[in-house]
Structure 1
Amino acid sequence: MSSSFSSFSDSDFPADPYPGARPDGSYAHHDGRGILLRPHAGSWLAGDTDLDDWLAERGAATLAQRVPLLVYGSNQCPSKITWLRETLRLPGPAVVLRARCADLAAVWASGLRKRDGARPATLASAPGVVETHAVWLATREQVRVLDVCEGRGTRYGLAKVGSGTITLDDGSIVDGALSYVGLTGIRMPLLRNGAMVRCADVDQAAALALRGTIGQHGLSASFLDGEPDPDGWPDRLFVYGTLQPGASAWRLLEPLADGPGTPHHLPGRLYDTGLGYPALRPGDGPGVPGRVVGLREPATALRVLDEYEGEDYRRVRVTLAGGLVAWTYVWTAEVSGMTELVSGWVV
């Protein structure tokens, strides 16, 4: 299906043969239907609606309340997502963002799936290889369902992957993405003549006939013991006002920060609220100067900073120049009547 289509049904993307068909683009999926997403002004649009608003209309978690999970097999397929809903009670809309994966590959695993006898994919390090897969922005509840589906702890482990480079359609680089990584022999790569077999090179029918030995995935992977915390990614914050080094609230951030950070620009506009602090609107605009500060313990730090920022601001993830993703706080009220600060906030 061409990306010119804005919406689709599961029948457009069947699940068989494994790993199933997938849209040519990023999409959100709910109740057997999907809608293609496109990046716009620092966010994503579902049709003409901001994706966070689209999710809120369905009573679902916002993007900031989700974790990035690289999927490389059937979990990219809309029909499989419906199977997860019907069989394992996957809750809420799924957000599936197309990703360019460099130095990573989906390869055929050594064992077969018990429920249907298909040979599944597994993730492996593949220097020099570029493939297209997807990143789910998944809620905690959705991860619990995927844990069951993937056999977390017995077949796959949920890990933070340090290998390769994962880039979304909007240019965001998803460093430290989670993924299900082979944990035992049946989900380790199958080696034919000593080499892994990419799913892109051999279809399911031919994969079933493969014979070989069990290899290793070669990934740099840090396995998680418990549930992933959405506040844990990314581990950095873009500051542009009172939280900057030398400004009035730096004393609050400094003990939580890994140093004073580095200068960066965020696409968008900055306004003077007249209250002693600025208002940020990311997206189109001349750009907002600030600093990116690393957080020692992101979840702990962000709870403190959320209380400081209060209801006037909302914490979101933004993409800076070069694809770096950071948290920042955006102004939630109107900016009409405020003076635009073309040179940034003076500390």
Structure 2
Amino acid sequence: MALPDAGFPADPYPGAAPPFSFVHADEESHVLDPHPAHGWAVAGAPLDPWLAARGGVPRARRVPVLAYGSNRCPSKITWLRHALGMGADPVVVLRARTRGVTAVWAAGLRRRDGQRPAVLAAAPGVVEEHAVWLATPEQIAVLDRCEGRDERFRLARLRSGEVRTEHGVRVEAPWCYVGHGAIRRPLLVDGAPVRCADLPQDAARWLDGVPAPGDGLDAPTVVGSPRPDEWPAAVFVHGDLRPGGPAWPRLAPHTDGEPRRTTVDGTVHDTGTGRPALRPGTGRRAPGWLVPVRDPAGLLPVLDGQEGPLSRRERLVTDQGTPCWGYVRTSSADGGRQAITPSSRPVR
């Protein structure tokens, strides 16, 4: 189902947002549904091929950016395309729930229309509905200009609170624009910030208060442009790279915590070469290990070389809802080999 922008106006700020996950293209929002093998689907079609048919890049070349203000509004996305030159690449927007952070009204007004924007602040115990863009580096460059990066807002990795998609996938340390200049710090009215959920724009723009000294967030500033390989900081392994396996000494020095047993969607097949291969989308659960790693952007190209041209690196999700990198088989040369991993439970 595709819905035109007219159903989601941008005014008053923060605009109207769909109550579902969507992918935006050509001034329309297409509903995203969960897909047991491919993560997300549009009208039954896996998301990555749908993106490719429209000249878009796959999910593995995008990074998660928390959107808690107007960036979850489809009409605002179209404005970014027309006013700031954001290209035609579809924008993937996942509905998400946050815990421990909140959107509050900022100290200053927007220059172009006098409306009061939102800014993020720490809020222990508070649960809110927001969104996560799966954004390309090019889309983030446009958001940098829109948000006034390093002037009004700064781009950071959000370590405060918790962010989960509507289907339970935890988004660790998403990128996020948080207040930087005094006009984008939380506004304190009678000593306390005002949540956007508690007061609409037509009343918020007339608030009188002072900028807060800070936002209480654990959010280190990002230097330079985000790289898709930086997220997630974990790898799923099941063959030579597993703990105790022959290639484990290559991975062990890069770990950032204890490996733990887990499963991902798929089946492990005997390739006849002594190296098992993971095939996703089988409706089964393949067991292996989740390994937290330091500096994934530095490590992953090394693992790419080891896995070779017959494997493709993809983002997978464990049965605990944790995103991770994993290697899946791309060659059909071993397609007739027997599966060596039995089904353990149905895909969630």
CA distance in 1, matches of 2:31, 2:6: 15
What amino acid is the match of 2:27?
Answer: G
Residue 31 of structure 2: aligned partner = 36
TM-score, normalising length: structure 1: 0.94
**Residue 77 of structure 2: which of 78, 81, 102 is its match?**
81
Matched, 1:174 2:171: yes
SS at match of 2:273: coil
RMSD: 1.6
Residue 341 of structure 1: aligned partner = 340
What amino acid is the match of 2:190?
Answer: N
TM alignment of 1:17-166, pairs within 5 A: 17-42=12-37, 43-91=39-87, 92-166=89-163
- The percent of aligned pairs where both chains have the same amino acid is 50
CA distance in 2, matches of 1:70, 1:181: 10
State the Cα distance separating 1:196 from its structure 2 match.
Answer: 1.0
The structure 1 segments of at least 4 consecutive aligned residues displaced by more than 4 Å after TM superposition are none
The CA deviation string for residues 137-190 of structure 1, in whole angstroms up to 9 with x for no partner, is 111111000000000000000000111110002321001011000012100111
CA distance in 2, matches of 1:274, 1:36: 42
TM alignment of 1:255-334, pairs within 5 A: 255-258=253-256, 261-283=259-281, 285-334=283-332
CA distance in 1, matches of 2:336, 2:281: 19
SS at match of 1:23: coil
SS at match of 2:320: helix
CA contact 2:36–2:283 (8 Å) conserved in 1: no
State the Cα distance separating 1:245 from its structure 2 match.
Answer: 2.2
Indicate the larger mover: 268-277 or 203-212: 268-277
CA contact 2:119–2:186 (8 Å) conserved in 1: yes
The CA deviation string for residues 49-89 of structure 1, in whole angstroms up to 9 with x for no partner, is 11111111112111011111001111000000000000111
CA distance in 1, matches of 2:153, 2:178: 5
State the Cα distance separating 1:256 from its structure 2 match.
Answer: 3.1
What amino acid is the match of 1:48?
Answer: G
CA contact 1:66–1:140 (8 Å) conserved in 2: yes
CA contact 1:245–1:260 (8 Å) conserved in 2: no
The CA deviation string for residues 214-265 of structure 1, in whole angstroms up to 9 with x for no partner, is 1121111100121111111111101011211222322332333346622222
TM-score, normalising length: structure 2: 0.93
Change in 2 beyond 3 A, CA 1:25/1:79 = same
CA distance in 1, matches of 2:331, 2:5: 39
Residue 226 of structure 1: aligned partner = 224
Residue 346 of structure 2: aligned partner = none
CA contact 1:41–1:282 (8 Å) conserved in 2: no
State the Cα distance separating 1:279 from its structure 2 match.
Answer: 2.1
CA contact 1:100–1:133 (8 Å) conserved in 2: yes
State the Cα distance separating 1:343 from its structure 2 match.
Answer: 5.4
Q: Which runs of 5+ in 2 are unaligned?
A: 344-348
Indicate the larger mover: 287-296 or 96-105: 287-296
What amino acid is the match of 1:67?
Answer: V
The CA deviation string for residues 183-218 of structure 1, in whole angstroms up to 9 with x for no partner, is 121001111111111111111100011111211211
Q: Which runs of 5+ in 1 are unaligned?
A: 1-5
Residue 209 of structure 1: aligned partner = 206
Matched, 1:16 2:28: no
Indicate the larger mover: 330-339 or 189-198: 330-339
SS at match of 1:159: strand
CA distance in 2, matches of 1:38, 1:195: 39
What amino acid is the match of 2:80?
Answer: L
CA contact 1:254–1:260 (8 Å) conserved in 2: no
CA contact 2:15–2:70 (8 Å) conserved in 1: yes
SS at match of 2:41: strand
What amino acid is the match of 1:218?
Answer: G
SS at match of 2:197: coil
CA contact 2:267–2:342 (8 Å) conserved in 1: no
What amino acid is the match of 2:337?
Answer: M
CA distance in 1, matches of 2:254, 2:128: 37
Q: Provide the aligned length of Structure 1 versus Structure 2.
A: 339
